[in-house]
Amino acid sequence: MAKFVYSFNEGSKDMKNLLGGKGANLAEMTKIGLPVPFGFTITTDACKDYIENGNVLADGIMDEVAVHIDELEQVRGKKFGDIENPLLVSVRSGTPISMPGMMDTILNLGLNDDSVKGLAARTGNERFAYDSYRRFIQMFGDVVLEISKSKFDKIFNGQKEKVGAEFDVDLSADDLKEIIVGYKALVKEELGREFPQNPQDQLEEAIQAVFRSWNNERAILYRKLNNISSSLGTAVNVQSMVFGNTGNTSGTGVAFTRNPATGENALFGEFLVNAQGEDVVAGIRTPQPIAQMKEALPEAYARFEEVAEILEKHYKDMQDMEFTVENGKLYMLQTRNGKRTAAAAVKVAVDMVESGLIDKETAVMRIEPDMIDQLLHPTFDAAALKANTAVAKGLPASPGAACGEIVFSADAAAVASEAGKKVVLVREETSPEDLAGMVAAQGILTARGGMTSHAAVVARGMGKCCVAGCSAITVHEDEKFMEIAGVKYHEGEVISINGSDGSVYIAEIPTVAPELSGDFGTIMGWADEIRDLKVRTNADNPRDAAQAVKFGAEGIGLCRTEHMFFEDERIPKIRRMILADTEEERREALAGLLPYQKEDFKGIYKVMGERPVTIRLLDPPLHEFLPKTEEDMKQLSEQFGIPFEKVYNKTVELHEFNPMLGHRGCRLAVTYPEIAEMQTEAIITAALEVKKETGLDIKPEIMVPLVGISNELKYVKKVIEDTAEKCFAAAGERLDYMVGTMIEIPRAALIADQIAEDAEFFSFGTNDLTQMGFGFSRDDTGKIIKEYVAKGVLDNDPFQALDQTGIGKLVEMAVTLGKQTRPNIKLGICGEHGGEPSSIDFCHRVGLNYVSCSPFRVPIARLAAAQATIRNKR
Amino acid sequence: MAKFVYSFNEGSKDMKNLLGGKGANLAEMTKIGLPVPFGFTITTDACKDYIENGNVLADGIMDEVAVHIDELEQVRGKKFGDIENPLLVSVRSGTPISMPGMMDTILNLGLNDDSVKGLAARTGNERFAYDSYRRFIQMFGDVVLEISKSKFDKIFNGQKEKVGAEFDVDLSADDLKEIIVGYKALVKEELGREFPQNPQDQLEEAIQAVFRSWNNERAILYRKLNNISSSLGTAVNVQSMVFGNTGNTSGTGVAFTRNPATGENALFGEFLVNAQGEDVVAGIRTPQPIAQMKEALPEAYARFEEVAEILEKHYKDMQDMEFTVENGKLYMLQTRNGKRTAAAAVKVAVDMVESGLIDKETAVMRIEPDMIDQLLHPTFDAAALKANTAVAKGLPASPGAACGEIVFSADAAAVASEAGKKVVLVREETSPEDLAGMVAAQGILTARGGMTSHAAVVARGMGKCCVAGCSAITVHEDEKFMEIAGVKYHEGEVISINGSDGSVYIAEIPTVAPELSGDFGTIMGWADEIRDLKVRTNADNPRDAAQAVKFGAEGIGLCRTEHMFFEDERIPKIRRMILADTEEERREALAGLLPYQKEDFKGIYKVMGERPVTIRLLDPPLHEFLPKTEEDMKQLSEQFGIPFEKVYNKTVELHEFNPMLGHRGCRLAVTYPEIAEMQTEAIITAALEVKKETGLDIKPEIMVPLVGISNELKYVKKVIEDTAEKCFAAAGERLDYMVGTMIEIPRAALIADQIAEDAEFFSFGTNDLTQMGFGFSRDDTGKIIKEYVAKGVLDNDPFQALDQTGIGKLVEMAVTLGKQTRPNIKLGICGEHGGEPSSIDFCHRVGLNYVSCSPFRVPIARLAAAQATIRNKR
């Protein structure tokens, strides 16, 4: 028969899956001789069995429990339910992965009408005994019997009123006895049966309640939100009680071995003299800093310092501990690796390497890559934040915190910003024309659009705070107000937004600027030594490029040329090009754009030095550049002296039912080779000129987007090569350049061997690959994906973390096929996934050469890449 | 050194790639002892060599030619350029695959100012000799020297006028001599050199001209349109001349061994006494039916009958022959397999099997599957058609011919049709609401939309003639006229359209109804014996299903349930469902639809008997069912008593940027399981009721569309199963049914092993698989694909013939993975490709169980499936 119960002296820290985190660590502490009140753990297997049997405990389990209770009685020299010297226990849940939302602790289990007397006699403290009993009934009634807490509170407060007691402590033992009578009557009334007097029954009911709580709503929700498997189950820890509330030589506390906010190497925590665990939390008395325990309980403190040091050395990580002191003696109730801020994580890791506790690889593995965001962006002042409640929640589209006056247009943002005001740009959704306004704003808030909407992508590129797709907001851009839950907020009112969690506040919350420590540099240096993947950035302008270089980018993996066309001076020229009737007219308009593009590239080359720069040819469908409203069309028609009808007809002609699958990418270059010619000329001559001016040896990588057919690349490559030759001839000088393609059409992955005949590099455009591979338009399916994740149809949003099962298979195929044709083909990724740690791990495993991501994710990618190397080596 | 020239006695019919079709068959006829004027062939390799060398003849080639000319001189006992007895030759191109657009024939090569005298003396016919010479100069001047034909005509007609000659034959030898002087002067003037007098030079120039003509514009265009590789090259045939114009014992003609229009087993052709080949074509004299040759040239005719029989037995196929009779002696100039109508192809094949000439498999291989269309649809009366010219050309979206008055709305079509009028429905593009009008019309003409647009798909389903995407037409539906090239055509005017070639005529052209012969049944019966693939049909209603069964469909592979929602009584109910606020309201509306759906399915089941029927759950995005214009929305709002704003907001809410990749397919069923429930209930209870009423054992196949994630299918399958169980419980009876899925999302193919855990069958939706695999929206990329095919980027439109390289790879993966999980998984295809022969061949090769196509393509698919079996066995 399976073993369902483990004594604390049978387990170890490596048995978390079976014993839960708490149980495993209690066993571990027991094993290494630390003072742990004895007890045992009922395994997660028992829980699974319970659930599989339709919430029925298997026969053997309570028998096993009985055996362990016997053992406990012997160890403690007390008896369960005894009137002389009763054994009391706590019952706590313990999951393999830390998980709020599970059943709370039950203390003092084992008390009944008889044993309470024994406890009173034994401690000589009747009030303490009855207070313990009434607490037990209350906790048990609430969490096991599921009687509303407020009903107990009513009885309790009734008694207080009756006797004129101000505080709980003002109640006497007799008052408490009366309360107990009331409690028991309540239980009988609610359940039609007496409050269980038999400690065995109490225990069995408590165990079942813990198991049931695995599937309560909060727990299910938490698991879904955090991608925790629902098949893990919870363990139950039964531990003999120790009392911190027996007098002034007792107490209870929680502490970290180091400061979890800063990482400083000193005990950090709180304690209360003469108190039980729950009192610390209840907030009735203010706990004292842990350092003061040295005076209050000097011996216990000394022992605690010792234990803390032992634990940190043993676990080789910062510990988060709970303890109780009973009559001067220290008891450890819990230890676990402590949660910490990014800053603390960095400092602790570096300190531990320096003290020889861990090695560099371990240090690098200790930092959660996504946490690094905290270090790079402004955050809200923690105190100020506490005082405010979010009025709405959107998607955490680009991390950081922002605070400013609401503006509803890019122009307004620019004007206000010039006037020295801080503003938050609020839009239905942004478009490329809002760029200047986005630069001017502190942050961006949109009502529509997902994690890869225009606002999100551009904001991340800039490292600017952005909350996107906040559907609770209705934006009335023309009338200059927005509505949330029926309340209107006008231009000029101050809001604050948190791009790291999507919260929106109608309040002025001060922000704190980020500061990078030397430890951060140290960790990143170690990561760079370790990682195999190169890290590039997606950048379309010198500003972003410079930011990325500062963050350690080793090149540009994606420079989107279309973003350059939206600036005020340029958009008319691209529109003229689109409205052209003949190739000649088109060439004329393009000639006007050439100098701008060339200057753009020169600027970028100069920032990047000899780092590789991948430039993508024009990608979006041309209709994106045309005005949307009739009014704007009229204006355009006047501007160019072109009949309105012609402008209108052109937009109708270019309209597409599914622009995602329309006339874009290299298809534009096949139809209008002159566009690719102009861009190639700009790319090549810019490189030649920079070489001449600075001596830098620029080797541009020209990337042809949206190839799905090998001949598309052949066709465009010829245009590029012919143009490049002309440029070389004109300049009387040559340079090396590469031509490659994005692999973003599913078919491209399938025929990558053919494409590699012409492509010198592949850059995986996993955004589009995901869109087409799943058949999900990211502009439309935000809601569906949310629903899918909620219903468990999808584990993750595949636009956030690369779907390794399906889309990853396409990537792998393309890698294999591409290398078949061209063994030294350069391989990278430039989709949004290039900055996401699990996706970076995948990229490492399939053998890409680099990942590319937005500038502010470069440090994250560097760290994640190092972790991938370490993880996959192990 | 390579051999570039083959004598006719060196080659054979199997050497088409090297000698071209004409040369190979001349060699073959020589080999089997038929009377062929001796000659030789310069190979296609020589042509390729010529082109690769930049249009320069390799050194050795003309040396080889000289050797063969020597041989020819010896055989014929004549000398090239001889003044006494000159050898004259014809020079003709000959390609491996028959190909118009290549260089024309040059006759009488070898004549010059001297040898013409020899010819005159030898034949005693001066006029004949000089007429031959002037013809030679004229032909050579035109096709080799590239001097405009009209310039020669001007000289020729000038002479006629000058001497008052009405017909060419009225010109005397002296007149012809004068013309020759004029011709030679023209050549000198145009080229600055004399007309070549040296026969060797003439021959070399002619050979080069043939080679060059491989890359003339017409030839390139023809190759592109017909998918002929440009690397094949052409051969040149040099053959000694025989003359059919030496008097009344001579003549020339062309004939088929059987009637190419009907297949009747009797010589069919024309001849002319005392004429050269070109005279038959020139139309100056009216040729006589071949039968009359029996009287005019009895001996030659008897010999020709003999030769024809030998050839047909030798080639085991109907032959298309050219011959000349010189002084009573028959000479064969060409033979090849004759082109024929579908009717003839069927009759010839069956007759040949019956006479033991070929076996059944050969007979089945002889019918071009696509030609069968001719037998199933009305065609234009051939004579009437000749008198008309198309005013516009669209896509041949659904074959057949139609003639009727123009109508611009479905309602008008219905009204006119009820009044007994024949109409052609002309629309910008059709939508599901036009269905009744499409049924009422003779044919459908649309200005937009491709081969897989709504109009095209539905028309093919009905077997109704349709020309789609005719962009030359501007349709003004409201004003009831259309415009073509500036001319307006109003409702009521009569047009004719040809769905087989896309032509549009402003004329009444009578149509001929199709008639199926017994021979057709015989061939189809043989095909059925041979083929491995089953053939099902795509049908959404009993009418189409019955038609398909008549054509031999063995089941329904795709029944689209959404088509059932568009009928007048139903569309309000589906709209009510979409506008519902709560699940309850939605269920109420759905309950109203249930009886209709159930009756639909009962009707289909009854037609199909126990043949399998695959029913697809609702697929299109819901906004397709909502009104598009504000006016219609207002009407809807009044109809339901729902505020206009709500209707409007709902349409805005449901709007999608890329509906193709939006909220459709099984995603609807996950969001609104109640829709899937209603449909399942209709499917199952209909089957139960039909079983009860008729005893038929119906086993419905329920198909879940657009699955890309294995959990989607799990989720929907559970809904289906739970509902089915409820139906069984209610009916007190069970039946078998299957649940399967479409594989139409690229990711589905990649994870087909996971999907097969729940799917009992896969049906490949290769339309969507092509759309997403290529990233081509079929609604948008018609123009791009056209351009791609024109520029050689794509060989074929992948929406017409399945792209076996890329999309086919996905299909193969899914087949392999699916069988891994479920070895007996049922596999079919229900995309448009299911009726296309090359795609059917692919389906056979990858091991599908069936193809499914529109009813009128069922016979084509049966034949193509049989051919696939034969082809892949060989």
Q: Provide the mean pLDDT of chain A.
A: 92
Rg (Cα) of chain B, in Å, rounded? 33
Tell whether A628 is within 8 A of chain B (Cβ).
Answer: no
Q: Between B340 and A808, name the one with better pLDDT.
A: A808
pLDDT recorded at residue A341: 85
Contacts of A776 in chain B (CB under 8 A): 661, 708
Q: Which of A264-273, A791-800, B564-573, B743-752 has the lowest mean pLDDT?
A: B564-573
> Span B33-45, mean pLDDT?
97
Q: Which helix (H) or strand (E) holds A131?
A: helix A126-139
Q: Give SS3 for A102.
A: coil
Tell whether A653 is within 8 A of chain B (Cβ).
Answer: no
Confidence band of B279 (pLDDT split at 50, 70, 90): low
Could B709 and A774 be called an inter-chain contact, meaning their C-beta atoms sit closer than 8 Å? yes
Long-range contacts, stretch B428-434, CB < 8 angstroms, 24+ apart: B428/B475, B428/B477, B429/B453, B429/B454, B429/B455, B429/B468, B430/B454, B430/B455, B430/B458, B432/B562, B432/B563, B432/B566, B432/B624, B433/B566, B433/B571, B434/B410
Going A158 to A161 to A166 to A169, the CA torsion angle's sign is negative
- B445 burial via Cβ count (<10 Å: 0-12, 13-18, 19+): buried
Q: Give SS3 for B276.
A: coil
Residues A69 and A239: their CA atoms lie apart, in Å, by 10
Could B657 and A780 be called an inter-chain contact, meaning their C-beta atoms sit closer than 8 Å? yes
What is the DSSP code string of B292-349? GHHHHSHHHHHHHHHHHHHHHHHHTS-EEEEEEEETTEEEEEEEEEPP--HHHHHHHH
Q: Which DSSP category does A286 fall into? A: P
What is the DSSP code string of A338-404? PP--HHHHHHHHHHHHHTTSS-HHHHHHHS-GGGGHHHHS-EE-HHHHHT---SEE-EEEE-SEEEE
* pLDDT at A814 exceeding the cut of 90: yes
Q: What is the pLDDT of residues A358-408, one digit of tens each?
A: 999 999 999 999 888 888 888 898 888 888 999 999 988 888 999 999 999
Tell whether A747 is within 8 A of chain B (Cβ).
Answer: yes
Phi and psi angles of residue B850, each rounded to the nearest 5 degrees, phi first:
-150, 160
Q: What is the pLDDT of residues A242-268, one digit of tens each?
A: 988 888 899 999 999 999 888 999 999
* Active-site hit among B470, B559, B830, B853: B830
Residues A842 and B294: their CA atoms lie apart, in Å, by 83
Contacts of B750 in chain A (CB under 8 A): 773, 805-807, 809-810
Spatial contact of B334 and B321, defined as CB atoms under 8 Å apart: yes
Query: In Å, what is the CA distance from A866 to each residue of A376, A812, A856, A874?
Result: 19, 21, 17, 13
Q: How does strand B235-240 pair with strand B89-94?
A: antiparallel
* Active-site hit among A68, A377, A454, A833: A454
pLDDT recorded at residue A175: 95
Confidence band of B276 (pLDDT split at 50, 70, 90): confident
Using CB atoms and an 8 Å cut-off, which of residues 696-735 of chain B contact chain A?
706, 708-709, 711-712, 715
Confidence band of B382 (pLDDT split at 50, 70, 90): confident
Tell whether B788 is within 8 A of chain A (Cβ).
Answer: yes
pLDDT recorded at residue B652: 85
* pLDDT at B153 exceeding the cut of 80: yes
pLDDT recorded at residue A284: 60
> Span A57-64, mean pLDDT?
90
Q: Please give the model's pTM, rounded to 2 decimal places.
A: 0.85
Query: How many angstroms away from the CA of A621 is the closest CA of chain B?
Result: 12
> Span A830-838, mean pLDDT?
93
Q: Which of A348-352, A626-630, A799-803, B670-674 has the lowest mean pLDDT?
A: A626-630
pLDDT recorded at residue B496: 96
Could A662 and B791 be called an inter-chain contact, meaning their C-beta atoms sit closer than 8 Å? no
| Structure tokens that stand for A635 in this block | 């204006």
Could A774 and B803 be called an inter-chain contact, meaning their C-beta atoms sit closer than 8 Å? no
Residues B154 and B166: their CA atoms lie apart, in Å, by 15
Q: What is the pLDDT of residues A610-655, one digit of tens each?
A: 999 999 999 999 998 888 888 889 988 998 888 998 888 888 888 8
Residues B646 and B651: their CA atoms lie apart, in Å, by 9
> Span B216-229, mean pLDDT?
81
Type of residue at A792:
G
Q: Between A344 and B516, name the one with better pLDDT.
A: A344
Q: Which DSSP category does B99 fall into? A: -
Q: Between A843 and B417, name the one with better pLDDT.
A: A843
Quick check: ipTM above 0.90?
A: no
Instruction: Specify whether A454 is catalytic.
Output: yes
Residues B677 and B659: their CA atoms lie apart, in Å, by 24
Residues A253 and A297: their CA atoms lie apart, in Å, by 12
Q: Which of B156-160, B553-557, B788-792, B828-832 has the lowest mean pLDDT?
A: B788-792
pLDDT recorded at residue B282: 55
pLDDT recorded at residue B101: 67
Confidence band of B563 (pLDDT split at 50, 70, 90): confident
Residues in contact with A515: Cβ distance below 8 Å, sequence separation at least 6, in sequence order? none
Phi and psi angles of residue B601, each rounded to the nearest 5 degrees, phi first:
-70, -40
Query: How many angstroms away from the CA of B309 is the closest CA of chain A?
Result: 49
The total of other beta-carbon atoms located within 10 Å of residue A759's CB is 28
Confidence band of B701 (pLDDT split at 50, 70, 90): very high
Could B775 and A788 be called an inter-chain contact, meaning their C-beta atoms sit closer than 8 Å? no
Contacts of B805 in chain A (CB under 8 A): 750-751, 754
Using CB atoms and an 8 Å cut-off, which of residues 808-827 of chain B contact chain A?
809-810
Residues B871 and B862: their CA atoms lie apart, in Å, by 14
Tell whether A806 is within 8 A of chain B (Cβ).
Answer: yes
* pLDDT at A282 exceeding the cut of 60: no
Q: What is the pLDDT of residues B406-450, one digit of tens each?
A: 999 999 999 998 888 999 999 988 887 788 889 899 999 999 877
Q: What is the pLDDT of residues A591-600, one digit of tens each?
A: 999 999 999 9
- Strand ranges for B98-250 from DSSP E: 106-109, 235-240
Q: What is the pLDDT of residues A137-168, one digit of tens each?
A: 999 999 899 999 899 999 999 999 999 988 87
Q: Between B285 and A91, name the one with better pLDDT.
A: A91
pLDDT recorded at residue B220: 85
pLDDT recorded at residue A516: 77
* pLDDT at A335 exceeding the cut of 90: yes
